[in-house]
Amino acid sequence: MSAVIELSKTFQRRAERVRDQLIQPVQDIGLALKGIDMPFAETEERRDPYDGSITTYGFWRDANGQLLGTVQIDQSGRVFAEYDVIANHPNKAGWFIASVSVWGGDDKLQSELQLIRLPE
């Protein structure tokens, strides 16, 4: 039982770092991520059939149950997360921000905005 509790604490610690990293590039351009501060609507553990490692998934949803974002954190600390932004870029005319992504591990996380050129 203690292994499950420890995994949960580790997941929560890593998920908080990911949350902070998702928020930063969006705040840097003057926008906010709605719903990012809410707890995960659900989490799920999946075992890799090849190596037996476990990846924990977290899902952010809005009040209507629509998916806003996901995070995947494996046992080694590798991370991938994506969260919907869905807004025109406030500083780059002609660009739309679809989402923000985070990837990396316990030593370093990186993030970037996923931009789409608006049709003219």
- Give tens-digit pLDDT for 79-111: 999 999 999 999 999 999 999 999 999 999 999
Domain ranges of the chain: 2-117
Residue in the structure block whose two tokens are 């991938």: 80
User: Are the CB atoms for 96 and 87 separated by under 8 Å?
Assistant: yes
29-46 pLDDT, tens digit each: 999 999 999 999 999 999
If DSSP codes are grouped into helix, strand and coil, which group holds residue 75?
Answer: coil
Tokens matching residue 84: 């919907």
Contact criterion met (CB below 8 Å) for 35 and 62:
yes
Q: pTM (2 decimals)?
A: 0.89
pLDDT tens readout for residues 1-23:
445 555 588 899 999 999 999 99
Mean residue pLDDT of the chain comes to 92
The residue assigned the tokens 């995994």 is 7
